[in-house]
Amino acid sequence: MDTEERRSPVSTGSGARIPRQPLWVEEPAIRWRMPDPVRTAAVRAVLIMSLTIIQAMVALLCTITGSWLAFPMLLSSVGSTVVATWSVLDVWVTRQVWNQRHGVVSVPSSSARQLRRERRAARRTARAAERERARIRRRGASSLSRA
């Protein structure tokens, strides 16, 4: 098959051309992507936790074999467990801080959304009333000048 034949749309025996189907169809994401700082903290936590698990396995295997490395590995595993716990807490704190700085998560049951909606409606009503008062004042001033 020639290169040009591969690039062109598929043809049937009758001469009609059928357009090629795309390789994949993009579907919208079900969940929103995590913010960058939270995702960074989560990746860091996963890496630290996986290294801690590997270290604990090495400590266990060294203990089983009776190696001199068992005790130092046990001590470093305990330290790594503390660091892994700290990193998981860091993900949680980073997520809370991000939510606090960038507003609440807007979900239909969010009370903040309802409060914002009520405040907007009150501001809209106040602006409409102010425009109406200004219009009445202008009309009243112009009727006084005619008399």
Residue 116 belongs to some domain of the structure: no
Mean pLDDT computed over every residue of the chain: 83
The whole-number average pLDDT for the span 107-125 is 80
Tell which wins on pLDDT, 147 or 46. 46
Cα separation of the two ends of the chain: 94
| Range(s) of the domain holding residue 89 | 33-96
- Counting residues of the chain whose pLDDT is more than 90, the rounded percentage is 50
DSSP readout, 42-77?
HHHHHHHHHHHHHHHHHHHHHHHHT-TTHHHHHHHH
Residue 86 belongs to some domain of the structure: yes
Residue 13 belongs to some domain of the structure: no
Residue 101 belongs to some domain of the structure: no
pTM of the predicted model, to two decimals? Answer: 0.52
pLDDT score recorded for residue 45: 97
Q: Is 21 helix (H, G, I), strand (E, B) or coil?
A: coil
How many domains is the chain partitioned into structurally?
1
The whole-number average pLDDT for the span 104-111 is 61
